[in-house]
Structure 1
């Protein structure tokens, strides 16, 4: 669905919006919620929340635990996620290139896009000995503190850049996170000059990455690819070479950039503007 269709007035169903808002209440830090918490979070009566919850529960999108008297996401949410990922040709097309990057570098490779002002991780290719123990696909993170996010931020149109800053601000995830506009603008200038972004323990302590944006024919950043590893293995002298390798992969993916969510959700563009 494009932003143009989303902006159509008079066609949104309020009950559907409320039901989806319930699903969005859950997160890695809020895996189980009571009825009162959901009602309070959405600002709706408990009776309304309960009717919507029972409907979602009947379709397998929520599960109720009598023991804790809480709700959690149901397995049909996982099925939807699987269906989405397998229906995105760009992931299947990019995967061999991501796997080749992983073999060459021995590090973690990520394919990302941006949605609603955040980085959305689409795929990860990991070494046999992994950093962490979970798949990152589907995870969202702020743009200002990740390599992929900064690589895309550097080439966003001014209006979208301002929207990101206004909506999400610049929260600190580690002591190294950029937290002021002046720092971010300086970083973006550096990214544009060298052609790639670096995240040095800005999102996770001990982790360093280099990222390059996937830009379409107009220069719009539809996605990004990163190489990520420990601060020990990701030595400074490797970053420039890693960025060149990523750039070659990005150039191959340009013809399929329109398949990335950021490109599909982009406002209608008049070619005469370029």
Structure 2
């Protein structure tokens, strides 16, 4: 039992999803800063402005604390208060933080050109993703100029467990770290759902081991097909993954598995020695 609890704690630490009581155990951890970032993370693409009560429900932070945090973030210029709606929205100042990350990310600089070439040549979406807690966040993406692509953008967040890019990431992890994520994901799903999902993830990992990529259809969004492959570094850079996909009407399973999947896996192998 103690061993299992240790593994669950490790899973939370690895995913970055600490609870307040976990944070309190670390003397160097400043909880107010963490909560401020929790507020900023609560805003989702396309969801619009949020009021203090909505933010409290979304984050689990007491409303009185949320009120102080949103006021502080507004004074710092990271939130804008909309008087007519009594709600807040993120400001452009947050973009500067993200741009500093993207502009200094070596892997993005290395991968951009080959990703773009593949997307335009095959009329698909090609994207690079990194782990963000228990999700994958798109670091860079190229969408073909047609209705046949997924149209992902930098900053888009997708699930780890149901996407090709997420399952490819899990396939690239050492076994011990992968089990940490399994523990975390298991707690997010009902037992019967997790049993089926675990089998699909294991099958995807086997695909990566056998042919360098995994294939996923309909598990994330109905009518979407994609292949994914891990992107490892020879140095200290964190594991990332690549995806190539499109709606089912635009690309066949055969093309993804026989042509695009091998191309994506080959691209990953070519790029790995360049990432240090």
> Is 1:20 matched with 2:37?
yes
Cα pair 2:233 2:275 within 8 Å, conserved: yes
Q: Deviations over 1:125-161 (max 9, x none)?
A: 1112245796521122211211111112123222322
| CA-CA distance at 1:237 after TM superposition | 2.6
Q: Secondary structure at the match of 1:11?
A: coil
- Corresponding residue for 2:213? 196
CA distance in 1, matches of 2:95, 2:132: 19
| CA-CA distance at 1:91 after TM superposition | 1.1
Cα pair 2:211 2:262 within 8 Å, conserved: no
CA distance in 2, matches of 1:257, 1:116: 23
| CA-CA distance at 1:101 after TM superposition | 1.0
Q: Deviations over 1:83-129 (max 9, x none)?
A: 32222122122111111212331211111122323222111111122
- Corresponding residue for 1:254? 272
C-alpha spacing 1:170/1:104, structure 2 compared with 1 (3 Å): farther
- Corresponding residue for 1:264? none
Aligned residues: 249
> Is 1:66 matched with 2:80?
no
CA distance in 2, matches of 1:232, 1:85: 33
- Corresponding residue for 1:241? 259
C-alpha spacing 1:256/1:63, structure 2 compared with 1 (3 Å): farther
CA distance in 2, matches of 1:145, 1:226: 13
Q: Deviations over 1:24-73 (max 9, x none)?
A: 22223643222223345445554433222111101221111111111121
| Aligned counterpart for 1:184 among listed residues 183, 194, 201 | 201
- TM-score if structure 2 supplies the norm length? 0.78
| Aligned counterpart for 1:232 among listed residues 240, 249, 252 | 249
Q: CA RMSD in A?
A: 3.1
> What residue ranges of structure 2 are gaps of 5+ in the alignment?
1-13, 15-22
CA distance in 2, matches of 1:192, 1:62: 45
> Is 1:121 matched with 2:138?
yes
C-alpha spacing 1:184/1:48, structure 2 compared with 1 (3 Å): closer
Cα pair 1:151 1:211 within 8 Å, conserved: yes
| Aligned counterpart for 2:74 among listed residues 43, 49, 57 | 57
CA distance in 1, matches of 2:224, 2:78: 35
CA distance in 1, matches of 2:149, 2:117: 21
> What residue ranges of structure 1 are gaps of 5+ in the alignment?
259-274
C-alpha spacing 1:41/1:116, structure 2 compared with 1 (3 Å): closer
Cα pair 1:178 1:202 within 8 Å, conserved: no
CA distance in 1, matches of 2:170, 2:53: 38
Cα pair 1:113 1:222 within 8 Å, conserved: yes
Q: Deviations over 1:182-241 (max 9, x none)?
A: 3332342233223211111221222211122113349x9812222211213322332222
CA distance in 2, matches of 1:178, 1:148: 20
- TM-score if structure 1 supplies the norm length? 0.78
| Aligned counterpart for 1:209 among listed residues 222, 226, 236 | 226
